[in-house]
Chain A
Amino acid sequence: MSPPPQIEFRGIAKRFPGVQALDGVSFSVAPGSCHALIGENGAGKSTLGKILAGILSADAGTLLLEGRPITPATPLEARALGIAMVHQELAFCPNLSVAENLCLGDLPTRRGGWVDRAALHRRARALLAEIGADLDPARLIGSLSTAQEQLVQIAAAIGTGARVIVMDEPSSSLSAGETRELFRLVRSLTARGITLVYVSHRLEELFALCDTLTVLRDGRHVWTGPIRQTTPGEVVTRMIGRELRVETPTHLTQTLGAEVLRVEDLSSPGRFSGVELSLRAGEVVGLAGLVGAGRSETLQAIFGLDPRAEGRVFVRGQPLRLGSVDAALAAGLGLLPEDRKRQGLVLGLTCRENVSLAALPALSRFGWVRRAAERTQARHFSERLRVKAPNIESLVAGLSGGNQQKIALAKWLARSCDILLIDEPTRGVDVGAKAEIYPLLDELAREGKAILVVSSELPELLGLCRRILVMRAGRLVGDVPRADATEASLMRLMAGVAADCAA
């Protein structure tokens, strides 16, 4: 009889408001293996990693560690079971030193509560040496690079006796040299018998490092098997193939108007560089890319929110002053941001007040808000966008994600923006509201509005757009017309997999 798997997932399910993140996922991870977890943005791979590490808890299903069911409710409980996670979010106190962070749960003290600094540094140095990391334990965490902070996280995990380490996109913000270092460390960890669950969407990396691979799609388990038995092309095919939920939009048949937005050589240090694009009245253009490719950053720079942006942006042939939201607004641009609760809406105000937020100058006379006009406008747009709210005086905080998104969109329609930059139109929006938002965008395009839409959901872009631009690592790497665009072709561009691999 073979030994039980290190980790086994049995029918794991997790629901977030409006979206089923995981739906009955079952597979197992062999001891001492480096197990890759891959899928598109939003496929559920990070959620699964977080459930294993006790950051989230599953709604249904069983988690088994060496054959015994476990229910880690907190990261601390997972730690006690020997499961740790290395992730991008701040895991440490940036204002304390490496040594203090490493020993935070159990600071060596002398009598009277004095911190034993010598013992502290000795212990920290031993932990770092364990993984071959050459770091001064006295340095502040805040002064470290992402790669160095990862080393400290891994040292902390090993130090607490972790046998399973979940790594969530560990290479996403590393340089090439740092990535090589990471690979060396990963190999040395598996050589010591530590089991790694490696979450990534970089195919070449997984093929270089991992021995087993699991593909998730739309929260469902698609395939698990030895990595030697598959190819990057096959994996791409398995990752995609979501159902197309978008009806063919009607704006595609109309003739396009004049060019309204042209971006030339737009760059922002460390975010993206050399972005060129053009948008015509009535056109819907998609912007695809993996997380971190610089899509949202590009939209924000066009909208004047990035003071370090350089390059040229023309609106209807007129140069647009960069780094100024005022200038962008005056030129008729509107940005529907990705994080609508933080950037798009004032949750404590009513629907009416949010709709008129950007249109106050037009709605007021001598500084007085014309309340009748404001109410009429709010009513008009909430009817037009079919906002489901008790009435226009309801607080936005109480609306569902889809209805909040409609209010955020109404804000720009109330200002009669004719160039809309839309970042993740359906993030955190339930299926029903999605089906309402797509025709709405179609309708806006038919009215002659130019729409640039960023989305992590490829079917959404494939369904909505006339053209899809693809970004990878801060650069524009493709401009695919609708007829040639498939999930596979876009995914290959996004992940940087050569076309012949997919054969």
Chain B
Amino acid sequence: MTLTGALDVGMPVPPDERVIDVRDLRMRYGTRDVLDGVSFTARRGEVLALLGPNGAGKTTTIEILEGFRMRSAGEVSVLGVDPATAGERWRARIGVVLQSWRDHGKWRVRELLKHLGTYYAPYSTDRIRRPWPVDDLLDVVGLTELGGQRVMRLSGGQRRRLDVAIGIVGRPELLFLDEPTVGFDPAARREFHDLVHRLTDVDDTTILLTTHDLDEAEKLADRIVILGQGRIIADGSADELSRRVAGETEIRWTRDGQRFVHSAVDATPFVRQLFLQYGEGIDDLEVRRNSLEDTYMKLVLESEGEAR
């Protein structure tokens, strides 16, 4: 099965709503095509997850959109501007959460956020007040108590939250998150997800994130774009993607205290039959369509099969 024909279906995004508009993006290193005709859009307020195996071109794509890397060919528009030639005003509307290591170690948390905020002040508008006030920001990322701490003394998770705070200090209209929750414990991950929801719901921020955590992608993303071998192999909501991939649905239930598991291509008639047969005897019914992980694995394997 090929998905290429299905890609243009889905809702067309009106041009003025397109925060990211990528058309036929190509990137070539020597004779190797890292990106081979990538096209997708993101609309205002949308959370878009970019998935794909290592080497599929995720990082290259995101770095081109961030304006950190030149492309070989194709059209790219981010907030209506070509990142390759965009100026400081454009930069002020973009947030990038970088994977920090040990930079600014001697700075204190509050001092660093306050200082970095001043760079955005000239770009404040009536609609978006820049920068984000430091106290509110510390509160949002849960670092209020650590405001006076030196950055080098933060734990890994705290540092990551500081990275996020730095990424959003300028109240970006578009935020790039490259593998944001690597190294987070489950509680920190949950808090981070809440923060992302807050950003999109309250501030209408558009977010492009890459991740290897499919569960995270499913929870956060309105839309998922899967890259494989430098091409887009799927584009849609988690639900749409799983519908597109032929797969079996898992049905679990109990009857007379005994557990049953069954896989069916079409779950609805099966469940109907089940109730006709046993009625009240059925308990704890669960119907699970392909998980995003199943869908993802199928799509990636398929695209690799085609390439060979």
Please say whether chains A and B are actual partners in one complex.
no
Binding site for A on B (CB under 8 A): none
Binding site for B on A (CB under 8 A): none
